[in-house]
Chains A and B, each alone.
Chain A
Amino acid sequence: MNFLSIPVLIFSPLIVALLILSPFFPNNEIKIRRFSKAFAILHFIYSTLFLLFFNPTNFGWSYQKELTFFNVSWLKTLGITATFGMDGLSLVFVILTSFLVMLAIIASKSMIRTKHRIYYPLILILQSALLGVFCAKDVFLFFLFWELELIPMYFLISQWGDRDSSAAMKYVVYTFFGSMLMLLGMLVLYFYSFSISGVLTADIESLSMSENVFAMWFQAFIFLCLLFGFAVKLPIVPFHNWLAEAQVSSVTPVSILMAGVLLKMGGYGIIRFNIGLFPEVFSNFAPLLIILGVVNLLYGACLAIVQTDIKKIVAYFSLSSMGLVLVGLGSLSEAGFEGAVFQMVSHGLIASGLLMLVGIIYLRTKTREISALGGLSQVMPICMYLGLIICLGAIGVPLFSGFPAGFMVLVGLLLSDIEPQAFLVCMIVLCVLGAVLSAGYILRLFHKTFFGSVLSQFRADTVQIDEDGNEITVVYPKRGITKSEIVVLSLLAFAIIFFGVFPNSVLDIFEVTSDIILDFMKV
């Protein structure tokens, strides 16, 4: 298995991006697009190879590689190394990232019409950063990749969206604000573990060994600093304001990546750092996290119900779904934990699907106002059927990927050690209330766009595309949806059903990892 190299996995998108940017690459949009698409598909295949050779019963990090520069560790004297590792948990997110980036690039064919030369490299750089976050085994390496994601995302939001750069700025400010506090926490953690153990190291595993000797309030301080950074990303309710705006003002493939992968960074961070390094503090904070999660869930759902912009509905749906992740993590039980991770994967697929739907509709109708839409089922029946699957997934119908996650989280919540049990039951009741509300707004979204009488301006054969004032008449296939869009939607729909029918296919991958993390917590 020597051909499975994590550095190659992480850095190949970056190298390809630089290659496309370099003056040697032909400045031809078709070539750029096809090249990036081909690369993305290859990358996805490569990442699935990791899965094929992955031994789910393996205890600890299955793939591990320290990256050295001419045989020198990255920051050797500081105990900081460029060590990448992959366990079950990372693997799940790595494959999700690779998959969604592939879909985003396929979707870009119809969504992106300008500046290909910069767009595709940015997406690929973003991919590198995301993969790095999920594979970093060193605290500061993690932080490096965490920050690396910021700049490509800023341009992707501001340049190809609605030209509303304030949303992109908001995104950057929120995220950077959070990550600065996170850095504070990491630095303090790093030096205090040094002062106690005498070994200067930033390796996650080694750090996790020395935590218990800290004073409780001190651990809580670091815990909160770290949590703040992840809370902005996840997002947890008072810090979520960037999400809806960034989603609305960015173009579809970018929103797919944002909702599909970027939000998961927060959840992943909470698992790796807050749970992995501070199990004791975490168990003290767990009820608070559960409450925050429920607030997320209900607040997001309530907001989604009254939105008139369909993309905002999806954005608040994401907010609401992430609440369930928080509840699952807070429950501190195996079922809850696995449910939370499963929910992240499932939400990645479902939110991407919904955003893709919204994007397809927006591309053809030039509007996202729910009152201005209707009757699209008659123009795009295939889109409707695929959309139906995705919407059912979003509602959390069984045999779609949303259900196992929710179910595990609910049972996990009840199985947790938190007292009193009445509190847990209340939380469960509120969680399922969120499920009812989700049916309300998702069906509203689906019905108002696809059903009803068809509006006269949407005809199946010719669609007016208005980009920068140029009126281009594009002849779409008779079904009203292009091939690349069908590919994206049907792959997502397939994945949603597949993971819904075979939830164990995902759960098995990270089961051992979650056992390790939870065992650690109980000790």
Chain B
Amino acid sequence: MNAVLTTISEYFVQSIATVLFLPLWVVLMIFINSSIPFLASKKMTLNLTLGSSFLGFVFAVFSLFYCIKNPQALVENNITWMSTDFQISFGVFVDNLSALMLVFTSLICFVVQLFSFGYMKKDESFHRFYIYLNLFMFCIFGFILASNVIQSYVFLELVGVITYLLIGFWYKKRSATRAARKAFIINRIGDVCLLIGIVVLVYFSVVFNSAQNMVTLSYSTLQFAVETLYSMVSDNAYLAIGVLIFLGIMAKTAQIPMQNWIVGTIEAPAPATALMNSFGIVAVGVYLCARFYPLFILSKSLMIFITFIGIVTALIGAYVAMSQNDLRKILAYSTSSQLGVVLVGFGVGAFSASIFCFVVHGVTKALMFLVGGALITSLKNEADIRYMGACREKLPLYAFSFFIGAISLCGALFSGFYSEASLFNSVLDFGNEFLSFGFLLFVFMSAFYLFRAYFLIFEGDKKDDISQDFSEWTIKCSIVLLSLIVIFIGYILRGCFGDFIFFISPDKLNYLNLVQNVLLLFVVFGAGFIAYQLYMAQNKTYIILKEKALNKSNLPYKLSYNAFYFDKVSDWFAESLFLRLCRFFDFIEKYVIGGIFVVLALTTRVFSYIFSRSQTGNVQSYVTYSLIVLSGVLAVVAVLYILGSLMGV
């Protein structure tokens, strides 16, 4: 039995490239399907898509199995994509990390696609949405299975493009297209920074590995390549390269100061938002960070930089999320903040804990966004949590699953507990008090905004007429499925991280440390209690406190509500500085460079005027001109001769 399984898994792993191209084939099929007006079938589209993602899941599971069976075994297949001075290959590369990521990505894709059927059924662009989802699958699988840095970059940009397409899915809405463009451009800025880093890496790999005819910057040799690099360049140069690469990761994971595009993802259809915030574009950043970990870990200052960015984002994101009123915005800022903590984990050296944290966050966030989306649709597109309330009675499933998600996300119970606790342990081990305190503050704020959202939405007074339940079976099915995953996945996987996913050597995750756990739980439930007091109980002191805090002129509140004015500052830079510069160039173009031609034309005109004025029609003047010219020339020649004879020629 075991042998058969091994054979099968080996087969699957060897033909893993199928996973990549299956979605493309599905795209083609959906395209054909949707172009035939009388045959266009939504069921068929759904089945094809689900089939492809399920097959992806199967492949992923078998690859994971293969990886478990053969520890430290890598599967790598490459074909040449581009060859000049250096060879750039495309290929597949399966190791523990990519197998695990593949499992979760395909799983979430599957769930999201299932959910989308109910959610998008009435939308006229149903087929287009599924085409996008499949393209997304192609890109993300291509990214996860990338065998080298350049392929990663290629698919990373493509994921950015798909994100752009998904955010701008309802392109008739101005806000959606604007958000899409913003997300694209900010990601692009990160991408090109990353690109510079990669170009430098390619340069070094070409220069130092020219003898070995190997795939440029393959992940199997990256460790060696960065060590060479580290020994070749100065510390500052190394830091610069690292920071450039990390800037790309920052943009993807929505870190300060490139975090604001993440709010734009809420313009996409809810399942797409869920995908993007869980195993979509943000996963790309984290995965890339894990892939580049050998590079980062060599430089101490780089690790500090990563930690710093992570914790600042975590705090700012959580702080901003506390005052938001749009449910989706809360969740979006929460993504940014949670990923900040994941990066903190990377920064303090807790590689496996970080990835654990990220995986758990992914499934949880997917659940919460799906619930949120379904909920908002049920409430006639009311997204403002202030106008919700007491939804638990009519929509118990949503309330229950939202609660599970919230609890898990703030690390109190379920899967989130394991991941948060192990990460917290690592942070404590790092030994920086500010960092530990910041982490606790982050946990507190996260718990606060999650409980606040829960209380405002599902408990309390009924504030609005709640429309009927969204009774599509696919929606319920997927939410239940995800809830189960959220509950159990942490428990199942807790041994996996550290033993199976690790950097260089296995390290056991320590999530059962009584003091820490109590501290963490205390903070979480303290935040929950405060939220309860503020939003549920009619305690007078708290109401006054709340009034004071929510005062429009209150600076902390304003900062939080306006997300620290990052938007305004960047707009100011773009509008006032950059556009003015461009207008100045335009001015130069029009009047200086364009003026040269005008001056030339004018000169010609003046000359032609002069020459045509000489045509008086008067023969005397003609003869005079001729004789003047002639005698002038004669005189000059004569003078020259005389001068020449004087000089003694």
Contact = CB atoms under 8 A, between A and B. Distances in A.
Interface of A: 170, 173-174, 238, 240-241, 299, 302-303, 305-307, 333-335, 338-339, 375, 377-378, 392, 395, 397-399, 403-404, 407-408, 410-412, 414-415, 425, 428-429, 432-433, 435-436, 439-440, 443-444, 447, 450-453, 503-504, 507, 511
Contacts of B195: 407, 410, 432, 435
16 contacts: A173-B597, A241-B593, A302-B586, A306-B582, A397-B160, A411-B206, A412-B85, A414-B202, A425-B200, A435-B192, A436-B189, A440-B185, A443-B181, A451-B168, A504-B82, A507-B84
B196 A428 contact: yes
Interface in B179-216: 181, 184-185, 188-189, 192-193, 195-196, 199-200, 202-203, 206-207
Interface in B199-239: 199-200, 202-203, 206-207
B595 to A, nearest CB: 9
A273 B491 CA distance: 70
A398 B82 contact: no
Contacts of B122: none
Contact of B583 (A306, A408, A451): A306
Given A443-B185, A507-B82, 6 more contacts: A377-B172, A404-B82, A415-B207, A425-B200, A440-B185, A452-B172
B579 interface: yes
Nearest to B156: A398
Contacts of A411: 85-86, 199, 202-203, 206
Contacts of A303: 582, 585-586, 589
B192 A299 contact: no
A414 B181 contact: no
A333 B85 contact: yes
A307 B150 CA distance: 34
B171 interface: yes
A397 B158 contact: yes
Size bracket of the B interface: 35 or more
Interface string B130-157: 0000000000000000000010011101
Given A410-B199, A452-B177, A504 B83 contact: yes
A453 B174 CA distance: 8
B184 A443 contact: yes
A397 to B, nearest CB: 5
B539 interface: no
Nearest to B182: A443
A414 B585 contact: no
Given A303-B582, A303-B585, A403-B154, A435 B188 contact: yes
Top-8 shortest CB links A-B? A398-B154, A432-B192, A414-B203, A451-B177, A335-B84, A302-B582, A306-B582, A335-B85
A398 B191 CA distance: 11
B594 interface: yes
A425 B206 CA distance: 16
A383 B101 CA distance: 37
A304 to B, nearest CB: 9
A306 B80 CA distance: 41
A172 B195 CA distance: 40
A315 to B, nearest CB: 11
B138 to A, nearest CB: 10
B518 interface: no
B311 to A, nearest CB: 28
B602 interface: no
B157 A397 contact: yes
Contact of A305 (B155, B160, B181, B582): B582
A174 B596 CA distance: 11
A452 B153 CA distance: 31
Nearest to B584: A302
A433 B600 CA distance: 35
Contacts of B203: 411, 414-415
A173 B177 CA distance: 43
Contact of A170 (B177, B589, B597): B597
A193 to B, nearest CB: 32
Contact of B153 (A238, A398, A415): A398
B178 to A, nearest CB: 8
A504 B80 contact: yes
B581 interface: yes
A511 B597 CA distance: 40
Contacts of A503: 81-82
Contacts of B80: 504
Nearest to B194: A432
Contact of A452 (B161, B174, B188): B174
B579 A439 contact: no
A319 B185 CA distance: 21
A301 to B, nearest CB: 9
Contacts of B81: 503-504
Given A429-B196, A451-B177, A453-B172, A415 B158 contact: no
Contacts of A377: 171-172
Contacts of B168: 451
B593 A238 contact: yes
Contacts of B593: 238, 240-241
Contact of B84 (A305, A395, A408, A453): A408
Given A414-B203, A435-B192, A451-B177, A392 B161 contact: yes
A303 B587 CA distance: 9
Contacts of B86: 335, 411
Given A303-B585, A305-B579, A411-B202, A398 B158 contact: yes
Contacts of A507: 82-84
A238 B588 CA distance: 11
A334 B207 CA distance: 14
A435 B185 CA distance: 10
Contact of A408 (B82, B171, B589, B600): B82
A511 B87 CA distance: 13
Nearest to A307: B586
A41 B215 CA distance: 40
A241 B200 CA distance: 35
A433 B192 CA distance: 8
Given A377-B171, A453-B172, A415 B185 contact: no
A334 B84 contact: yes
Contacts of B594: 241
B189 A241 contact: no
A131 to B, nearest CB: 27
Interface in B363-381: none
Contact of A397 (B161, B196, B207, B581): B161
Contacts of A433: 192
A377 B171 CA distance: 8
A144 B207 CA distance: 44
Contact of B184 (A378, A439, A511): A439
B575 to A, nearest CB: 11
B318 to A, nearest CB: 30
A338 B189 CA distance: 26
Contacts of B184: 439, 443
Given A398-B158, A452-B174, A306 B579 contact: yes
A440 B206 CA distance: 32
A439 B85 contact: no
A306 B586 CA distance: 7
B196 A432 contact: yes
Contacts of A428: 196, 199
A415 B206 contact: yes
Given A299-B585, A428-B196, A447 B185 contact: no
B597 A241 contact: yes
B570 to A, nearest CB: 13
A436 B174 contact: no
Given A302-B581, A414-B203, A451-B171, A399 B82 contact: no
A303 B589 CA distance: 8
Contact of B596 (A241, A334, A447, A504): A241
A113 to B, nearest CB: 31
A215 B215 CA distance: 45
B181 A399 contact: no
Contacts of B172: 375, 377-378, 451-453
